[in-house]
Chains A and B, each alone.
Chain A
């Protein structure tokens, strides 16, 4: 009950903010909700299953390019293009999962990093189709979904909220299901979980695919809502970001990804007004979190006050 109130309450608050926020923050929050959905996807794998991936940009970009390339080259409309993005995420995450899950720990991190880097370079290599580093704009006319113009700020905000609500509720539902509980068990003690009769490989693969598809949905929506697809979104930096957001907000908590994304977005937003070296903030926060608060913000709240927080 408390859990439902808290999460529905957050979504209701985000809904209400649409009507009161000034334009600048209104636009920011739409962006934050899409990025937070990406973080929610990352958290399924990192926070709940205990697998630290350094290659999630591959899934984000798979969704983004699956969507954008079908619009750009095949002239698809947004609805099927979004589905194409999801399918791309499904294929890429399943393939990466099957390979990378043969390894564990540090090797898993390096393998995901390397395959994602190969994906990024592939986008650069086929610049003829992907427009490489500079990327390409998705025109306003190509961004009308079921008669709704997604380039309009208000529509865009609601679309972002819809995406975030679905991601959040899917995550909440998942971690309370036996499947999600088993993922937590794998995080805590994989060998024991196998010796209780669970196929841990299949569960981990499922987690990679679910995580990958939420990330891909976020990537596809990002491209569609903000009208741009570029190779930056496939770079290492975009693999580090969700890790940073989730660590800051609290790994293995449902609300953590949103809290972390919100804080980090505004930290970087504020500091980029002062210096071009805004990634310094990201570095300092990463080190500080590892040293002082490995549980993150929501994790600390759960540890100290609300032990029921999912």
Chain B
């Protein structure tokens, strides 16, 4: 394949990564923004979403769309409920102390991951996509002075991947509407601004926290359900989303939702394109170094402004 079609393909794949990453990272960013804690177990909530999707799809049978549709609802709800339980039994009791929360969520990471290993096993299992038509993509080349359309071999995508690219922005729009237009969003923003003041005004801060932690985890689970027809469900699949979400949240400016989305698109797209030129390991080395250096030298993120 020539470079042009190749880059287009990489961009399409990158857009899928970006879509899923944006959902996962916004979940992490929301939790950090409102609660000021870092959830190391975020990747495991992602993994749980995928594993639950597999169970649901198994149970439903029939047309793949039925199982997938059910998973789309059940997985985020169930994972959200687990996260709320984690918040109420653990995080609340250590009073959301930032450092102890990290240690506790490392513990939660191992608990979720290892319980999944015991229950679900070490195998990677697929979930069928609800629809999966292969779509060939045309390309143009200059021949005898005029542009001619042709169909390069291997340049194609699927209807499902396009649907993911469309679905993610819709969900994010929903999150934005919730934050900006609803009463619960108002409570979240008030709590984010000043916890003590919110308490003084009678906002049930602990319930807001539990809800935010649940929504953050549910977003990760939703992202995983979307990706599981493309990538299989596996008990160790939470590691990469966690790392990538970290990169996105830190580069986008801690706790800033618009920054997170912009960074997710940037990282997701470049991930597809960089992997054309670099080995995945080298790409990861550069990405982790970038996160470390951004935190050291530009803690407000690449897009943030200091003090905001």
Whether A and B touch (Cβ < 8 Å) is answered with yes
Q: Looking at the complex, which one of A109, A124, A275, A287 makes contact with B99 (CB distance below 8 Å)? A: A109
Interface residue? B288 (CB, 8 A): yes
Tell me the minimal C-beta distance from B69 to chain A in angstroms: 32
Q: Is the interface of A mostly helix, strand, loop or mixed?
A: helix
> Is there contact, CB below 8 Å, between B111 and A287?
yes
Q: Given A115-B288, A280-B118, A99 and B296 touching (CB < 8 A)? A: yes
Residue on B nearest A117 in the bound complex, by CB:
B288
Q: Return chain B residues, CB-CB under 8 Å to A288.
A: 107
> Is there contact, CB below 8 Å, between A114 and B288?
yes
> Is there contact, CB below 8 Å, between B107 and A284?
yes
Residues of B in contact, count (CB < 8 Å): 39
> Is there contact, CB below 8 Å, between B289 and A280?
no
Residue on A nearest B37 in the bound complex, by CB:
A106
Interface residue? B100 (CB, 8 A): yes
> Is there contact, CB below 8 Å, between B296 and A102?
yes
Rounded to whole angstroms, the CA-CA distance of A276 and B121 in the bound complex is 10
> Is there contact, CB below 8 Å, between B288 and A280?
no
Rounded to whole angstroms, the CA-CA distance of A291 and B104 in the bound complex is 8
> Is there contact, CB below 8 Å, between A118 and B102?
no
Q: Return chain B residues, CB-CB under 8 Å to A105.
A: 98-99
Tell me the minimal C-beta distance from A106 to chain B in angstroms: 5
The B-contacting residues of A in range 247-277, CB under 8 angstroms, are 247, 275-277
Q: Return chain B residues, CB-CB under 8 Å to A145.
A: none
Rounded to whole angstroms, the CA-CA distance of A289 and B107 in the bound complex is 10
Tell me the minimal C-beta distance from A250 to chain B in angstroms: 15
Q: Which of B58-66, B132-140, B277-285 contacts A (4 or more CB under 8 A)?
A: B277-285
Tell me the minimal C-beta distance from B30 to chain A in angstroms: 16
Q: Return chain A residues, CB-CB under 8 Å to B279.
A: 125
Q: Looking at the complex, which one of A100, A278, A279, A290 makes contact with B104 (CB distance below 8 Å)? A: A290
Q: Mark B280-308, 1 if CB is under 8 A from A, else 0.
A: 01101100110111011101000000000
Number of A-B contacts (CB under 8 A): 115
Q: Looking at the complex, which one of A110, A280, A289 makes contact with B38 (CB distance below 8 Å)? A: A110
Rounded to whole angstroms, the CA-CA distance of A115 and B287 in the bound complex is 10
Rounded to whole angstroms, the CA-CA distance of A117 and B103 in the bound complex is 17
Q: Return chain A residues, CB-CB under 8 Å to B113.
A: 279, 283
Interface residue? A243 (CB, 8 A): yes
Interface residue? A107 (CB, 8 A): yes
Q: Return chain A residues, CB-CB under 8 Å to B98.
A: 105-106
Interface residue? A285 (CB, 8 A): yes
Q: Given A291-B93, A291-B104, A279 and B114 touching (CB < 8 A)? A: yes
> Is there contact, CB below 8 Å, between B299 and A107?
yes
> Is there contact, CB below 8 Å, between A287 and B90?
yes
Interface residue? A68 (CB, 8 A): no
Q: Looking at the complex, which one of B110, B115, B284 makes contact with A121 (CB distance below 8 Å)? A: B284
Interface residue? B171 (CB, 8 A): no
Q: Return chain B residues, CB-CB under 8 Å to A14.
A: none
Rounded to whole angstroms, the CA-CA distance of A111 and B298 in the bound complex is 12
Residue on A nearest B102 in the bound complex, by CB:
A109
Interface residue? A29 (CB, 8 A): no
Q: Looking at the complex, which one of B90, B115, B296 makes contact with A291 (CB distance below 8 Å)? A: B90
Interface residue? B246 (CB, 8 A): yes
Q: Return chain A residues, CB-CB under 8 Å to B100.
A: 290, 294
Interface residue? B197 (CB, 8 A): no
Q: Given A110-B295, A115-B292, A125-B285, A287 and B38 touching (CB < 8 A)? A: no
Q: Looking at the complex, which one of A107, A285, A294 makes contact with B107 (CB distance below 8 Å)? A: A285
> Is there contact, CB below 8 Å, between A121 and B107?
no
Interface residue? A28 (CB, 8 A): no
Interface residue? A162 (CB, 8 A): no
The A-contacting residues of B in range 71-116, CB under 8 angstroms, are 90, 93-94, 98-100, 102-104, 106-111, 113-115
Residue on B nearest A286 in the bound complex, by CB:
B107
Q: Looking at the complex, which one of B106, B284, B288, B299 makes contact with A103 (CB distance below 8 Å)? A: B299
Tell me the minimal C-beta distance from A290 to chain B in angstroms: 4
* A and B contact pairs by CB, cutoff 8 A, 22 listed: A99-B296, A103-B299, A105-B98, A105-B99, A106-B99, A106-B102, A110-B295, A114-B291, A115-B288, A118-B285, A118-B289, A276-B122, A279-B110, A280-B114, A284-B107, A286-B104, A286-B107, A287-B104, A287-B107, A287-B108, A288-B107, A289-B103
User: Which B residues fall within an 8 A CB radius of A?
Assistant: 38, 90, 93-94, 98-100, 102-104, 106-111, 113-115, 117-118, 122, 243, 246, 250, 279, 281-282, 284-285, 288-289, 291-293, 295-297, 299
Starting from the known contacts A109-B102, A290-B90, 4 additional A-B residue pairs (CB-CB under 8 Å) come to: A103-B295, A110-B291, A280-B111, A294-B100
Shortest beta-carbon contacts, A-B, top 7: A283-B110, A286-B107, A280-B114, A287-B107, A114-B292, A277-B114, A283-B111
User: Which A residues fall within an 8 A CB radius of B?
Assistant: 52, 54, 99-100, 102-103, 105-107, 109-111, 114-115, 117-118, 121-122, 124-125, 240, 243, 247, 275-280, 282-291, 294
